[in-house]
Amino acid sequence: MNENFDIQGYMTKGVERVVTEALKATLKDPKESAYMLRFASASRNASKKRRRSEDNGEHIPPFLIASITSRCNLHCEGCYSRQNHATTDTEPIKQLTAAEWSRVFDEADELGVSFILLAGGEPMLRRDVIEAAGKRQNILFPIFTNGTFMDDRYYDLFDKCRNLVPVMSIEGGRNTTDERGGAGVYDKLIANMDGFRKRGTIFGASVTVTTENYKEVTSADFLDSLSGRGCKAVIFVEYVPVTDESRELAPYDEQREYLRSEINRLRKENPDMVYISFPGDEKNSGGCVAAGRGFFHINSHGGAEPCPFSPYSDVNIKNTSLREAIHSPLFTALQSGDILMDDHEGGCVLYEKRELVEALIRQ
């Protein structure tokens, strides 16, 4: 482990960069810019809270991923969540209620968490939780959605609550997107984008990057088509293999370097959109930032996990506070060990080293 690496400083600068780029991307939209200016102030206050905690020997990550439901209506090819049995066709029992998620959001605000990514399953099936998130204006909530449940009520909610930012999954053009998500998904996404542009509401796109589409999704044709429809953020998520057979889809070092160089170029040449890569350049970040270093994950049943790709938990938010969950024995062991710093072939180091993570759970 690089003992001289300042994870708090690194993540704080990352948050500031995202907010600055988001401000630039919304300058032409007075209503959106007004919210982003307020959020920029809230984000600075949150950074100060995290710095005070760090000075007192406690690390608080600025990001949280919340999978607010296990249910999804699609069967996307290669979905890690279905492979891990975290996503189903029907709503399981004993998932967190809207009130329980509201408590999580409030505790996150108190700790200085700036971003909570709402995921699933398909998060827009939980309108009650999304409405609760909309009331927490100090936190920005990107909503990672397949886009198939967009309706007038959601358009109105997103217009009213600018801290809710739908981020729709799109894998390239029509053929590539429909091949993964199903026939008609691409056309639905384009219709949603046109609906957001008509209403002047900000939205983003999430792209799963594979060995097959990494050049397509960084091409001028693809990105210009998103920008032209009003997209303000593109989040590139490197594919994580869920089976040995799918390992060939995970970008290898040369392709990851290509992605990084393209993102750096795009940030300079096209400031009208925000570009984020996950997991991004782990070498520059001192290793993987999961398990509470930069973020952690709460699943739909309340289990606190290192990340969505590493579905292991030794504590449940139903029985403990968010602060206690951040410092769970599993997270503490991962942060103090070497697993997060290990080299790996691509995708997620914790998924690749899952046997070691399971061994820590058994201790």
DSSP letters for 77-140: TT-HHHHTT--BSS--SSPPPHHHHHHHHHHHHHHT--EEEEESS-GGG-HHHHHHHHT-TTSB
pLDDT, position 10: 56
Instruction: Determine phi and psi for 98, rounding to 5 degrees.
Output: -60, -35
In contact, 50 and 13? CB cutoff 8 Å: no
Q: Is the Cα dihedral 24, 30, 31, 36 positive or negative? A: positive
Give CA–CA dist 110/53, Å, rounded.
12
Asked whether residue 1 is assigned to any structural domain, the reply reads no
pLDDT, position 2: 45
Give CA–CA dist 202/8, Å, rounded.
29
Amino acid 338 reads: D
Asked whether residue 186 is assigned to any structural domain, the reply reads yes
Asked whether residue 286 is assigned to any structural domain, the reply reads yes
pLDDT, position 15: 67
Mapping DSSP to helix (H, G, I), strand (E, B) and coil, where does residue 238 land?
strand
Give CA–CA dist 65/290, Å, rounded.
10
- Residue 223 CA, chain-centre distance (Å), reads 20
pLDDT tens per residue across span 258-306: 998 998 899 888 877 888 887 764 555 567 888 898 899 999 999 999 9
Give CA–CA dist 238/348, Å, rounded.
9
pTM across the whole model: 0.90
Short-list 181, 126, 193, 122, CA closest to 155: 193
**Domain boundaries, position 279:** 7-362
Q: What is the domain-level CATH number for residue 221?
A: 3.20.20.70
Asked whether residue 242 is assigned to any structural domain, the reply reads yes
Domains identified in the chain, total number:
1
- Write the CB contacts of 354 (distance below 8 Å, at least 6 apart in sequence): 310, 312
How much is the average pLDDT of 67-82? Answer: 82
In contact, 200 and 31? CB cutoff 8 Å: yes
In contact, 92 and 324? CB cutoff 8 Å: no
Q: 10-19, 81-90, 205-214, 305-314: which has the highest mean pLDDT?
A: 205-214
pLDDT tier at 87 (50, 70, 90 boundaries)?
confident
Helices (H), the chain: 7-25, 30-55, 80-83, 98-111, 127-134, 152-160, 174-181, 185-199, 220-228, 253-269, 322-326, 329-336, 349-352, 354-362
pLDDT tens per residue across span 109-137: 999 999 999 999 999 999 999 999 999 99
Asked whether residue 29 is assigned to any structural domain, the reply reads yes
Amino acid 57 reads: G
Place of tokens 């049943």: 301
Cα atoms in the Cβ-side hemisphere of radius 13 Å centred on 30: 0
Asked whether residue 75 is assigned to any structural domain, the reply reads yes
Short-list 337, 346, 325, 301, CA closest to 69: 301
Short-list 52, 41, 43, CA closest to 13: 43
Mapping DSSP to helix (H, G, I), strand (E, B) and coil, where does residue 230 land?
coil
- Strand order across the beta sheet in which 274-278 lies: 274-278, 233-238, 204-209, 164-169, 141-145, 115-119, 63-67, 295-298, 304-305
pLDDT tens per residue across span 143-201: 999 999 999 999 999 999 999 999 999 999 999 999 989 999 999 999 999 999 998 88
Give CA–CA dist 36/42, Å, rounded.
10
Instruction: Determine phi and psi for 58, rounding to 5 degrees.
Output: -125, 125
Q: Is the Cα dihedral 350, 167, 97, 86 positive or negative? A: negative
Asked whether residue 2 is assigned to any structural domain, the reply reads no
pLDDT, position 357: 84
Give CA–CA dist 199/195, Å, rounded.
6
Mapping DSSP to helix (H, G, I), strand (E, B) and coil, where does residue 147 land?
coil
